[in-house]
Amino acid sequence: MIKVAVTGALGRMGSEVVRAVQAAEGMEIVAQIELGDNLADELKYSDAQVMVDFTIPASALANIRTALASKVIPIVGTSGLSPADLDEIRGLCETHQTACLIAPNFAIGALLMMQFAAQAAKYLPDVEIIELHHEKKVDAPSGTAVKTAQMIAAARTGTPIPRPETAFESHAGATGAEVDGVPVHSVRLPGFVASQEIIFGAQGQRLSLRHDSLDRTSFMPGVVLAIQKSASLKGLTYGLENLL
């Protein structure tokens, strides 16, 4: 049995993870950790092997540091970690000889959408991303949108058409935020869990790629898979697609 600790266990995602691990074979919940608990002690006394983290960026980084120092493998879905944070975590994995997985999205359909986008970007350089989430999401743009923009930027061979130099925003933010040269628009509304649309435009044609998470169970097969494969991880893995 893989012993799993969950940080943010009372949150929207954390509570779903607890249910999914309890229903899965070959793993068990040994600790449910909330803000204010002593994480190092909880990991030590529960003998946890894996820590699943769905919290907030500031907490996630601190939790990852503690888990790695305790030789517990962090499996992290929390969005908003910066490239500098990832570099630090990569170094800590080496220092403590312990692996870590950070996955901006655990839904298999969303991973496919990102991979299809990278493929399309080889031929269609003009692209924008619209991500749509529930009204309680605190970070923007979403981790998924950031990773998608990174994948598009890495795959893109052509040069996107520059925006007209005379363009100006009468209302700040109207044209979206630039992430690795890709405009990203963040929508926050009740009625959404997590959706993303990637729109490629070209002469006389348009390609839209869209994924919708209709509820949070959509992320659970990916979380369970990551726990199952945790023992085979080496160093920092960024993206669940590396485990498929």
Ligand X SMILES: NC(=O)C1=CN([C@@H]2O[C@H](COP(=O)(O)OP(=O)(O)OC[C@H]3O[C@@H](n4cnc5c(N)ncnc54)[C@H](OP(=O)(O)O)[C@@H]3O)[C@@H](O)[C@H]2O)C=CC1
Ligand Y SMILES: O=C(O)C1=N[C@H](C(=O)O)C[C@H](O)C1
Instruction: Just list the catalytic residues.
Output: 133, 137
For residue 186, the Cα-to-chain-centroid distance in whole angstroms is 16
Question: Residues 132, 196: contact at Cβ < 8 Å?
Answer: yes
User: Which residues of the chain form contacts with ligand X (CB under 6 A)?
Assistant: 7-8, 10-14, 33-35, 54-56, 59, 63, 77-80, 103-106, 143, 219
The tokens for 159 are 């040069």
- Residue 7 binds: one of ligand Y, ligand X, none (C-beta under 5 to 8 A by kind): ligand X
194 near ligand Y, rule: CB under 6 A: yes
Give CA–CA dist 32/43, Å, rounded: 10
Judged by CB under 6 A, the residue of 14, 143, 222, 239 near ligand Y is: 143
Q: Is 12 annotated as a binding residue?
A: yes
- Residue 133 binds: one of ligand Y, ligand X, none (C-beta under 5 to 8 A by kind): ligand Y
Q: How far is the CB of 137 from ligand Y (least distance, A)?
A: 4
Q: Is 158 annotated as a binding residue?
A: no
Closest CA to 132 of 80, 78, 194, 178: 194
Task: Please give the residues from 36 up to 75 whose contact with ligand Y meets the rule CB under 6 A.
Answer: none
First to last CA, the chain: 22
104 near ligand Y, rule: CB under 6 A: yes
137 near ligand Y, rule: CB under 6 A: yes
Closest CA to 197 of 113, 138, 119, 115: 113
The CA distances from residue 188 to 55, 82, 134, 140, in Å, are: 19, 22, 5, 9
Q: How far is the CB of 76 from ligand Y (least distance, A)?
A: 11
Contact footprint for ligand Y (CB under 6 A): 79, 104-105, 133, 137, 142-144, 194
